[in-house]
A and B are shown apart, each in its own frame.
Chain A
Amino acid sequence: MTNSLQKRADILQDRFGLKTASYLSAGAADLPYDISERLRAARVQAVSSRKVAKTQPPAPSSATVAARRLPGAPTMA
């Protein structure tokens, strides 16, 4: 009984929260042009300075490694 009441309270709370957020979203969608432009410029600048993962040289295949370890194996040249 208590659980179901708690669940109902949670649902009502979530519903109120989402409804409130929908009003806030409507407000945020209509920001003044100059603000939107400055945000866009900031985004472009941020993306241009993006950290790129360091690329490592491709690892040699297992067959190549094995061949190098074998005495008398043919050279790859």
Chain B
Amino acid sequence: LATEQELSDFLKNVEKRAFKRSIYHVRDEEAALDIVQDSMMKLAQHYGDKPAAELPMLFQRILANTTLDWFRRRKTRNALFSNMSDFESPGEDGDFDLLETLESLTNSEGTESAQDATERAQILHEIELQVKELPGRQREAFLMRYWEEMDVAETAAAMGCSEGSVKTHCSRAVHALSKALSAKGIKL
């Protein structure tokens, strides 16, 4: 069973990626923080006594479901306030993190030439934009497979679909990203 330290280490390892993934989905910093916090609490409260090896899969599932819940709540709220658009604050389109990421990337690469750093930041910027543009299921499959480094079977279990679907989603995501980046003159 996972010890307190193992649970803490696991969360520490995944929290930043989880936040970024939530940002790609919901494009709202506060919402992404809420989603990650809720997911951490749910994992700890309901599955804190599970073996450490089961935590990654459980967390991915919880994160996906919590994100889905957020979209459902937002849909309900939007329906409720459809005639009261004043409640919506304008300009929350989520581009804050890109700017901050670019800035921190540029500042953190002391040994890199300024040109290299700028180029890297531009590539990251473009990748993040294109990842956000992917259809939800493709983005989820792609990020689980390649960012969370889960295998096809684990991704399928976390997404609640077949392994064939995961392969299809990943293949389409890679093609879409590759095509979009190539169009911008970016070769990885």
Q: Which residues of A contact B (CB under 8 A)?
A: 13-14, 16-21, 23-32, 35-36, 38-40, 42-47, 49-53
Contact = CB atoms under 8 A, between A and B. Distances in A.
Interface stretch (B72-80, B100-108, B156-164): B100-108
30 contacts: A13-B170, A13-B174, A16-B177, A16-B178, A16-B188, A20-B131, A21-B146, A23-B123, A23-B188, A24-B147, A27-B101, A27-B105, A31-B101, A31-B104, A32-B97, A32-B100, A35-B29, A39-B36, A43-B12, A43-B40, A45-B41, A46-B45, A47-B11, A47-B44, A49-B44, A50-B7, A51-B44, A51-B48, A51-B49, A52-B48
B127 A23 contact: yes
Interface residues of B, number: 48
A39 B120 CA distance: 26
A40 B188 CA distance: 33
A35 to B, nearest CB: 7
Contacts, number: 127
Contact of A17 (B15, B43, B47, B146): B146
Interface string B1-41: 10010011001100111011000000001000100110011
B124 interface: yes
Q: At the interface, is chain B mostly helix, strand, loop or mixed?
A: helix
Contact of B33 (A13, A28, A39): A39
Interface of B: 1, 4, 7-8, 11-12, 15-17, 19-20, 29, 33, 36-37, 40-41, 43-49, 97, 100-101, 104-105, 108, 120, 123-124, 127-128, 131, 142-143, 145-147, 149, 170-171, 174, 177-178, 188
A22 to B, nearest CB: 9
A39 B32 CA distance: 11
B15 A25 contact: no
B124 A27 contact: yes
A27 to B, nearest CB: 5
A26 B120 CA distance: 10
A29 B105 CA distance: 9
Contact of B105 (A30, A43, A50, A51): A30
Contacts of A45: 37, 40-41
